[in-house]
Every structure is written in structure tokens, then in C-alpha cells.
Structure 1
């Protein structure tokens, strides 16, 4: 990689970065650092990756980011096949009536739309249904194979102490042995009860137990005759007299997750999971195996800050969401890429302190916006419950009262789509308040934190925004150029400006490549002769003119 070097460690430092937690976000951060040739120690308390399905969607932006580490094809192979739909069905129970359906495209259908449009309005990659157990297995194999990632498991992070020039992390093995790791930085990707976060002054803000209590049952069943009564689905929601129920198809084989509300104070020992499944679905579903069942409370929380000196938080350590919309892990992957390239820039000697400051300035507003969007999506279902009120028993009845109530819910869900179609939210976010985004004299806009329409992505290459995708040839997107360094994109501007910017980058040791693009649609989309795009694919600057001071421009985007 031009301009980068492997970090030379001081004699009293074990590793540049300690990462606490080897879930998807921690592994994403380790892989991002490794792409920049920066070593990390990845500490995980569990001996193996998770054996439970957990999350079920990797969204379009995360799939774009997964391309950077060469994991995309493995994730596709491990996930649900491209032919299966993402349909969401609303019913009165597995033996009742269907009263709503969100027809969502399969991966193949989305890919066909992407190929046909090629106007910047689409993502580079379709979404992917994949359970967390399969996702983690793919990412862990890549981590274990990397010479830049030292995976320590089963070791738990039990304490973190900051010092003047770094941090000391105490880790403990399963048999009680303790070891101290000295590092320049520590990243807390260790979940909702993060030890790393609790070692700082960072606290969580938002709604806690007011969001109710749920029981979640992961199970295996091949009883598709019962489960597919209304056809193949991704999610099926059921309004039952005993409460709202949802089943998620984790794969198209035999693995499912059911969630249903339970009274506050309910413990897992009080629940027989098989009977719970049958009661809440009003069916005699055949269960082959209960993988796990648990009682939990949805949260809507965001950390007060994402940085405390040498310590950073990401993923569930930084934000915890209601699962409506699938923003949890996907927001965390964005955190990991943003933080990873910035830590690497500082460790490799060319990034400045303002790059580290920009992590909080950029990612925390996105964390807040995605939390609020998840709450909005949840209210679609809670408002439906208000419509039903005490009349849920009518939904399964073949009479006028049942038909009228079902019709009201049909209209409700038809008018309030968007839970898994918020492409404006997923692709249209920007970093308007970042200290490392800059504008030129001919700039007339800058990216906003969230898109004007959460459901519709309107492509823009203004500073701070995600650089939009357009195919330059059948399998070559403009955004494939944006990975491990800055990219000076040139749509035919003054060659002297190219020479001056690249020379300034060379003088400052900032890795920057030049990509000349002769593509009229791309030029119209980016609206300027030049754009500097960051390693994470966000536009740092654009203009049709030579900057007054190329050195100042490069220094700004590098955080110097």
C-alpha cells in the first residue's frame, strides 16, 4: 500500500491495538486494521464463535464494506441463497388469516435492479440474509488466517487502565491466569455490558426497560408444512390474544427464531420453550431441537461519547437498539471501518489527532439517528397493537368483525412500510460536522447526518457523503477503488491540480492514489472534476478547481 508501513512498536508496547470482543464488530475492526497492515490483539472470552443464530440481516452498506476484506464471497456462500425472498407476512397465527404482506426482493432480484439502474441510486451490493453464527464463523476464519491478528480466546478483558501514552488491559483466562497487554489504543467491542466502556467516563443515554420484556427462542424444525402455511417468508408476525409474536427464518433449512412479549419479571426458568412456541403460534409445530431460549429487554441507547483518550467503543458497547430494522450489527460494522482506518493512519504515522477526534463526531450522530429509526419502526408494530386492542381474538374469526379488524391492519401495514426498506438511512448518511471533511469555494452542499427521506436514497458526492456507486464496466464499480488509502478521482480536470495534490500528499507521507475516469454518467453524478475519497468510501473534498493550498487540503483530510 503506497505510503503506509507496518508500525514499529516501542519496546514496552505489546501491540498497537487491543480489541475487546470478537463478535462481528470486533472482528470487522481487526480485519480493517489488518488491511492497513496494523497488528491487533483480539481478545474473546468464549472459546468458539457463537452457536446461536442471533442477527439475520447484513444490509447493503455492510455488504459493500465486507468487500474490502475479501470476505464477500464466503459470506454469500454461508448465507441464505440468492433466490429466496425477504417477504414479511402479517397473520393472526399459523392457523389463522393473512392480513398483510411486505414483498421484499430476493438477493438476485436486487442485484438485477442494481445492474439495470447504474445511475448512482443503488448500492454496490445486494443485502444478505445470514445468521450471526455463520457470519462469525466466516470472519473468524479470516482473522485466524491473518498474520496481523493475534486471536486470544478464551480470555476475558477484566480491566483497562489508561496511561499517559497508552493503555494497559488485564485479561483473564478460563482457568484464572491473568496477563497484562500494553497497547497504544484499546477498542471496546465487548457488547452491552462492556468492561472497556465501564473503565471510562462514557455512559449510555436513552430508553431502557420501558420498552418491555421479551422471550426469544432459537429452535430447529423441518415442519415447513406448519411454518410455511402462508408461503416462504423471512419474518412472519402474528397478532395473538396473548401478545405479538414474530418468527424469523434464519436460513431456508431448519433454523428459526421466535420472539414474543412476556410479563416483566419473567425468568427463563419459568418458560418451557416448546410449549411457549406452540402456545404463541397456536399450532402443534414439530420441534426438532431447542438451541437456546432467553428473556431480554430491548434497549434504545447510545453512548455519551465514543472516545475517552486512548479508548474507543463500537458496536453494542456504543449503541443498543430494538432489532426492528436490523441496525445493531450493521451500524457497528460502519463504526469498525471508520475507526479502523483512522487508527491505522495514526499508527502508521501519517494521520493526525483530529482523525481520532472525528470518530466520535462522525459515528455518534449516525448511532443516534439509527437508534431513533429503530424506535420509529417498532412503533409501527406497537401502533398496530393499539388498533387491535383487546380484540385480537377477532382476527382469527370468519365474520364481519374479524374482516373489518383485519382490513384496518392491512391498511396500517400497507401505509407504514419501511422497516427493512430504509435505504436512505442505510446509504444516505453523511458527516457534516467532521473536522476532517472540507469544502471548496465551488461547493454548494455538504452531507447531512441522515437522508431527507429515510426510505429513498438520493445519490450525492458532496463532502461527507458516501461516494455513490456506478459501474464503470460490467463488474467494476467506481467505489471498488476506495479501500486502503485516499483516492484522488479525476474526471478530466486540470492535470496541474492532480500533480499538485499528489505532490502534497507525497510530501506529507499521506497515501493517495490517482484514478482517472472517463465516464460521462459518473462525472454527472459526482458533479465536479475532482474528488478526494477516503479509505472508508466517504468523500472528503471535491471541486473543479485546483485548491489554493494543496498542502493544507491534504493536511486537513488527514487530520493533521
Structure 2
């Protein structure tokens, strides 16, 4: 088993949801082949996530995918407004006003201080996002899509991973040999089970009925105007999936409720408070969210990503979006190691960087859900639509509660402000203190481990477009960038020099004259001058410090 001479591919990926698809495309972007194994013959038909956040859109833009996702999503003129009302026939008592993609683009264009993302959010069903990503993978010669094949087990030794797969229709069994394997196979991950990795958190924290349907009854459904989400005082929700005819209703139901025991038409009627004409029933089920994070993200040559290692409640949109960042983080690191310029510590850094983000996002998703779970307790259904002064006061009280708890869709600090401060492959000085995270506010910084801020370049594009393959040295007038560039070249590390000059508008945003940025757009190091030991810095940020130090010592001994 130990020989790598007969590998089927450098990487095998189990699961072709959005995370597995993006991981395959990230590896391809970095020049690495993969086999993508999926048990279903087609992409999902369930809506699942309905927003791709700004950070995810930035990461997708690196891969040339942002425009494709936008084309599959809601047209750019529609707002992200969230409405709170008693029912479709009742009173509105609160609204979170959230801008459209067009409005966000205008805000971004007018922002030069680094506080804005490079890309707006995008409303799009996960089902549509998956379909777009799968088409791209099927067109990519570097991605070998195998479906419908089910992963039944993963074994490994010091050199090779063997992934056993079984065809869903014929029962044919195959064993795929690879240098690495990644489980992107969801909440019930077979890869995680094969590794014996446990999870911490809580299971089935609530029970919901989901009804996904087509309806042209917009007069009733949009009785309160255009919306993205419409929450009712009774606890139900309607989601406008495409601003046309596709909708999803969620309703909390008793914990013992089983799939097939609920009438989906009745669920829609009860949630909306009025009968809605349903043209086509697309999907309906019972679902139970978990808030779980895996104890480990890695076991030897096998890794976990996405729902296989973290499960969150959909409130806040942290599920798929957290997973996409996992895929990019792990993808470039695997490619660096496979290409020979990344070391073992680079792979270790994946868990060190991504697991704390998952823990925080898990907890904040539960916090957002608690706002909605409180609504039925606070609302007096007999009073909320009353024309009396008491009814008006009650609606005002509910409106104040809604306005005071609007972080679900405005926690830009959660989306953009996380910092890999404790990563073993970022370099900071002793006097550097990591910035304190404000979940609701993003404050641009180039502190090592942070997302490098977006600033516009002279050609109108974003500086983030420079961060894609290899490292990038952003230079605002340092006297000696060549020493660091030469050290990278000598160690075989790809590094691009972006010279902007000391008078560039981005100089104050980037805080230091030299900022070294990784392929995923996170800062690896910063300083006003190149460090004394450039070799050591390059070795550190590529995860092979010990190996390079040993080689340097050997070279010095030989010279002596």
C-alpha cells in the first residue's frame, strides 16, 4: 500500500456538495488533479442555503466563478429585506432593510478605506449553486467526477490513502489510491466515521417542517411587499428563493414529528395564515438542525471539510459559507505540499485556522436562532393585529425587539474579520496584539492571519484579484523587497511582487510597507522592511521551517 507510484490521483474528495466542488476547483486552479466521488446521480433538489456571503463571493471570484453564481441567483436589483409580520393578511411590525446587490456595488465603489468587501452578497439557492459548480467540474480536465459512487471506508498508511467506493446501482466495488483524501461528505460523514473522529455540541436542537414549492400567487405571498425572508409572529418563515415563483416555508413542529406525517399544503396554510395557491410541490421533509464541531479536522493524510466537520443552524448563513472557506484554505495548502514547496506544518495549520472559526460560527448561528424562537413567546396573537392603542403598543414593542436583534444578516465582523492569529504558519512580532473581533463590525487590518483588505487598484479592479496562486508581496515603497523575493525563489516558493508605491491610496489601509499575502488572501507576515532572515520567514509561512533550517545547517557545515 505504501508506494505512491500507482496513485489514481493526488487527492480523492468524498462528497460533491458545494464544499467538495469548490475544493476540486481550487485544487485544479493550483494545478492538482482530484477524483470527486458523489453518491447521488445529480446535484441536490433541496434549497438548503439561500445566500452566498461577501467573503465566499470573494473566494469564488478568485476561481472565476462569481459571475456564474450570480447568473444562477436572484437578479441584482432585488433587496435582501427581511420582514416581520403577524401573517400575510395581518400587520407588519418590523423590517430589516438590507441592500440589493446593485446597491451594495455602489457602496463598495465609493469605499476606499478597506472596510468594504470586494464583492456583494448573492441570494441563490444552494441547489442552483451546486448545479453551477458541478457543471464547471464536469468541464474541468483536472477533476474526475465519479457518481453515483458511495464511499464505504477509508484506510491509510504513512504514504497512501485507500478509499473504498461502491456503485449505487450496480454494487461494483473499487479502491482509489491517493496521496491525500478529504471528507466533504456531509453531516453523516462516512469518512469521519472511518477515522473515528467525535464531535462536540448538541444534536437536533429543534424540529422543522420544510415545504419547497412553486406558486405564482405573488399577490398573496408579497402582500407586505418584496422580501427575502418573511418571519411570522407564530414562528414560521417564508423565503423568496427567486423573486418569481419558487418559495420555501419552514415551520417548527413537535420533536416527534416524522417525514410523511405532515400535510405540506396545510403547513403552508398554517404558516402564512391565508390559503396560498401552490402550482407545484417541489420538496417537503422534516429536518433537525445540529450545532456540532468535530474534535479533529485531520487524521494523518485524511482531512474533513464542510458539514463533515461542522454543523450549524442556517440562521446567519454560516454553514455553506464556512465550508467554502475550508475548501480554499485546505486546497491551496494541499497543492503546495504536493508541488513540493509546502511542508507538513502547512497541513497542520488547516485545523488550527479553521476549527476556531467553526466554533464561533456555530455559537453565533444558535444565538441568531434564539431571536426567532423568542418571537412566539413575546407575541400575543390575540392583540398583535388589534386596532387599539394596546395593539399599537404591542406591535411597537415587537418592532423594538426586532430592531435590537438584527445581527443575523449584518454580522460582517463574523464574515470578514476572523484572524488566524494562532496559526503555526503566520508570523507576527511579539509586540503585535491581535485585533479584538467585533461580530457586527469589520475593521480592516493586515495583522498576520487576517483577511487582506479590499482596496481598489488604479485599473478599477480589487487588490484581492492579485491573491490567487502562490504568495504575493504587496509593496508600498519598502527599500529592500528583493531580498524576500530572492529568498522565495531560492526555496522554490512562488511569490509575486505587487509594487504600489508609498503614495498609493492603499498604503494607509495596508499599515506596513511590506505585506506578504497567501493564496487564500490572508496575511502571512507584514513589516516595514524585509526581515533579517528572509529564508527563515519563507520557511515559516510555508510550513517547512525545520526542514529548511536543517538544510541550511548542513550546507554551512559542508562549506566549513
Query: Of residues 516, 525, 529 in structure 2, which corresponds to 1:532?
Result: 516
Kindly state the Cα deviation for residue 444 of structure 1 after the two structures are TM-superposed. 2.9
Shift of 1:110: 0.5
If the length of structure 2 is used for normalisation, what is the TM-score?
0.94
- 1:75 maps to which residue? 69
1:498 corresponds, among 481, 503, 516, to: 481
The residue number in structure 2 matching 1:272 is: 263
Question: 1:297 deviation in Å?
Answer: 1.0
Conservation of the 8 A alpha-carbon contact between 1:29 and 1:337: yes
Q: Distance in 2 between matches of 1:427 and 1:163?
A: 38
Query: Does the alignment pair 1:193 with 2:188?
Result: yes
How many residues of Structure 1 are paired with residues of Structure 2 in the alignment?
540
1:19 CA displacement: 0.4
Tell me the secondary structure at the aligned position of residue 185 of structure 1: strand
Aligned residue in 1 for 2:103: 109
- Report the counterpart of residue 283 of structure 2 in structure 1: 292
For 1:201 and 1:491, locate their aligned partners in 2 and report how far apart those are by CA, in whole Å.
Answer: 49
Residue of 522, 527, 531 corresponding to 2:506: 522
Does structure 1 retain, via aligned residues, the 8 Å contact 2:201–2:291? yes
User: How far did 1:474 drift?
Assistant: 5.1
- After TM superposition, the structure 1 = structure 2 runs for residues 128-527 of structure 1, keeping only pairs within 5 Å, are 128-174=122-168, 175-209=170-204, 211-240=205-234, 244-388=235-379, 391-440=380-429, 444-446=432-434, 451=437, 453-473=438-458, 475-494=460-479, 497-518=480-501, 519-527=503-511
Give me the CA root mean square deviation: 1.3
Deviation at 1:118, TM superposition (A): 1.7
Question: Quick one: distance in 1 between partners of 2:406 and 2:188?
Answer: 33
- Is the Cα–Cα contact under 8 Å of residues 350 and 510 in structure 1 kept in the other structure? yes
Superposition deviation, residue 62 in structure 1 = 0.2
Deviates further, 407-416 or 379-388: 379-388
Following superposition, the deviation at residue 440 of structure 1 comes to: 4.1
Separation of aligned partners in 2, 1:91 and 1:285: 17
Distance 2:288 2:387 in 1: 35
SS in structure 2 opposite 1:471?
A: coil
Which deviates further from its counterpart, 60-69 or 375-384? 375-384
Gaps of 5+ in 1: 1-8
2:4–2:178: 8 Å Cα contact kept in structure 1?
Answer: no
Residue-by-residue CA offset, 1:171-216 (whole Å, 9 max, x unaligned):
111211110001111101000000001111311111212x221111
Cα pair 1:362 1:431 within 8 Å, conserved: yes
- SS of structure 1 residue aligned to 2:22: helix
User: How far off is 1:165 after superposition?
Assistant: 1.2
Tell me how far apart the structure 1 counterparts of residues 440 and 210 of structure 2 sit (CA, whole Å): 29
Structure 1 match to 2:112: 118
Query: 3-state DSSP class of the match of 1:520?
Result: coil
Task: Indicate the residue corresponding to 1:6 in structure 2.
Answer: none
SS in 2 for 1:268: coil
SS at match of 1:395: coil
SS in 1 for 2:505: helix
- Taking the aligned partners of 2:84 and 2:529, their CA distance within structure 1 comes to 54
Q: Distance in 2 between matches of 1:396 and 1:318?
A: 44
Contact persistence 2:237–2:271 (CA under 8 A): no
Mapped to 1, the partners of 2:47 and 2:377 lie a distance apart of 31
After superposing the two structures, state which structure 1 stretch, 376-385 or 173-182, moved more. Answer: 376-385
8 Å Cα contact 1:248-1:258 kept in structure 2: yes
Q: Detail structure 1 runs of 4+ shifted over 4 Å in the superposition.
A: none
